Structure 1
Amino acid sequence: MLSINLGLTLTVVGMTTVFSFLVLLVLIMSVSSTIIQRFFPEKTNLDINEKKTNDKKVKIALAIAVSKAKEEGLIS
C-alpha cells in the first residue's frame, strides 16, 4: 500500500510541477509579446505606401531638376 501512495504522490507532484511551469511559460510569453509589440511595432501598409510615395516624389523632383538643368545648359 505504501508504494501505491508513494506513486500517487509522485504523480500529483509531477503533474502539478508541469502544470505550474506551463502556466508560468504562457504568462511570460504574453508579457514579452506585449512589451515587444509596444516598443517594436510592425510596419503597417500605410507606412510602406508612404515610403513608396516619398520615393516617387523624390524621383519626380530629380527628373524636374535634371530637365531644368538641361534647359539652362548646366548639363548636356
Structure 2
Amino acid sequence: MTQLEKLYQKVALKVIQRCHGGIKLTKHGKILQVYDPQRHIWSKGLVGLIIKEECTNANLRDWEIVNVRSYIIKDLLRNSDS
C-alpha cells in the first residue's frame, strides 16, 4: 500500500468516525444520506461537504475527494458483510 492510499484510508476513517456510522448506502454502493452530529442533521448533499472538509484538514487536493469516497464505500460495504 502506498503512502497516498494509507492517507486516503485514514481520512475515510475520520469521515466514518465523524458520522458515527450514520451513513446510508444504496444497494449499488452509492452514498445516499449521512448524519453529521456537528450540524445535527441528516442530509443527501452533506456527504460531499464532510468529505471535502476532512480532505482540506488533511491537506489533500479537491480531485482526491473521489479516492477518499471510494475508500469510505469499500469500508462500509466490508463492515456490513461481516
TM-score, normalised to structure 2's length?
Answer: 0.25
Larger radius of gyration: 1
Name which structure has the greater RCO, CA cutoff 8 Å, separation 6+.
2
Q: Which structure's residues are more often helix, by fraction? A: 1
